[in-house]
Chains A and B, each alone.
Chain A
Amino acid sequence: MGNFDFGVIVRALPLLWEGMQVTLLLTLFGIVGGIALGIVLAIMRGSRFLPLRLFAGFYVDLLRSLPLVLLIFWFYFLVPIAVGHPVGGFYAAVVGFILFEGAYFCEIIRSGIEGVRRGQVMAGLASGLTQTQCMRLIVLPQAFRAMLPVMLMQSINVFKSTSLVYVIGLRDFLTAADLIGGRDNRLTEMYVLVAVVFFVICWAASQAVNLLQRRIAS
């Protein structure tokens, strides 16, 4: 097993923290942008205009059939071309994340709304509420309660997915650890550290979501 050098971790902390900041920033953009796009797509999918419905449906199906890595590459190459000059990997990654996660959040939102019993809408309509009032007062509150745990779990997934920016060399937590490990020949310590950090954060977060889910159910 050899010697496990904890010192290298301590010395690397500043760089690792920088990487973690990038990871957290990517996560934040991915979640906020993804939910925003997801809401837009969900509205489009529920719209009365066939072209909007078709476009949103096609978009969601397409994005859910592609690997995230491919999307990251797409924008890594595409954004500089579109903008006309070289762009750092960060913005390309952000665009890729938002477009990718938007499709997944859209489906979560849709299933939350569709999970509300049809009878609820009928009861609302029967008492003279308009469709919009039913949506606002009856469907959305119930849908939101149902989808909140799922959206939180998806957010944890976004956090894990950010590690993929490794493939374009963007200096996130994993890539920073990888660089240090390669430089100091301490890959084992670094990778184990990354695994442990991710595990602790994700496990704690998912336990919190489970707790929330139980409180909502009661």
Chain B
Amino acid sequence: MITLEHVSKWYGSTQVLNDCSTRIEKGEVVVVCGPSGSGKSTLIKCINGLEPFQQGTITVEGISVGDKATSLPKLRARIGMVFQSFELYPHMSVVDNICLAQRHVLKRSAEASRNRALELLERVGLRSHADRLPATLSGGQQQRVAIARALALDPIAMLFDEPTSALDPEMINEVLDVMTELAKEGMTMVVVTHEMGFARRVADRVLFMDEGAIVEDARTASFFEKPASERAVRFLSKILQH
């Protein structure tokens, strides 16, 4: 469903993505991991066009992301994205946050949007917080609202950019639980994360990135049992110590 072919990107003279290629099939859950600065966030942001790239092609269900003729807003409405810093709109209530894109992108009616929003809030366990402002919620709660907000557009795939990195430890699980549920229901997911436990339990494949390149692209089991590259071995040993 999502294909990346020989994608390379430069910031000025610094190369941040180096010939990245991979395929993500419908219903797959792919975890992208690697040391800081390896380009994981950049890569995922290229998929929905938030970051431009200079070489290669990315297609989502046949639509080319890099093509100038492609309507990026329309494409982005079909892919949901969850950010490390949640990015809930502080000046709107929780339910309004979830309704905004439904009304202005999908042109749903106010009533339909609100109903869908409340449905999704129920699903992530926050129905009672519908009319509160984001600032009154904990980090974990905000991120769950952010997931609901992304799901409100009924996307065909979900992108997660380090969804739990900004959370205090005791709130990480509530977010991972929601993501696990989502995976079980068959959502196509690309998740940039350090949570190896989650990766082991939920991911179908793992991409290991280092210095802008996809160094390893393996099924979860084989990645964790026998990583092919030395860099992956070193990375895993550092991370799994915790």
Q: What are the 4 tightest A-B residue pairs by CB atom distance, in nearest-first order?
A: A128-B77, A127-B101, A123-B87, A126-B81
User: Is the C-beta of A185 less than 8 angstroms from some C-beta in chain B?
Assistant: no
Mark the stretch among A38-46, A105-113, A133-141, A152-160 that contacts chain B.
A133-141
User: Which A112-126 residues have a C-beta within 8 angstroms of B?
Assistant: 117, 119-120, 122-126
CB within 8 Å for A128 and B105 given contacts A119-B83, A119-B87: yes
**Residue in chain A with minimal CB distance to B81:** A126
**Is B50 within 8 A of A119, CB to CB?**
no
Which B residues lie within 8 Å of A129 (CB)?
A: 73, 100-101, 104-105
On whether the beta carbons of A127 and B74 are closer than 8 Å, the reply is: no
Q: Is the CB of A125 within 8 A of B76?
A: yes
List chain A positions with a Cβ less than 8 A from chain B. Answer: 117, 119-120, 122-130, 133, 137-138, 141-142, 145
Closest to B98 in A: A127
Residues of B within 8 A of A123 (CB): 81, 83, 87-89, 146
Interface centre among A119, A127, A130 (most CB of B within 10 A): A127
User: Are A125 and B91 in touch, CB under 8 angstroms?
Assistant: no
Interface residues of chain B, those whose CB is within 8 Å of chain A, are 48, 50, 72-81, 83, 85, 87-91, 100-101, 104-106, 146, 149-150, 153
A128 to B72, alpha carbons, bound, how many Å?
7
Taking A122-B87, A128-B77 as contacts, is the C-beta distance between A137 and B100 under 8 angstroms? Answer: yes
Minimum Cβ distance to chain A for residue B215 (Å): 27
Give the CA-CA distance A128 to B80 in the complex, in Å.
Answer: 9
In the complex, are the beta carbons of B85 and A133 less than 8 A apart? no
**B50 proximity list for chain A (CB < 8 A):** 122, 125-126
Which of A128, A129, A130, A145 gathers the greatest number of chain B CB atoms within 10 Å? A128
The distance in angstroms between the C-alpha atoms of A120 and B150, with both chains bound, is: 14
The listed residue (B77, B85, B90, B91) touching A127 by CB distance below 8 A is: B77
The answer on a CB contact under 8 Å between B87 and A127 is no
List of A residues within 8 angstroms of B74 by Cβ: 128
Contact call A120/B89, Cβ cutoff below 8 A: yes
Residues of A within 8 A of B89 (CB): 120, 123-124, 138, 142
Give the one of B48, B73, B79, B150 with max A CB within 10 A: B73
CB distance from A167 to the nearest CB of B (A): 44
**Within the complex, what minimum Cβ distance (angstroms) separates B96 from chain A?**
10
Return the chain A residue nearest B146 by Cβ: A123
Expressed in whole angstroms, the minimum distance between the Cβ of A208 and any Cβ of chain B is: 22
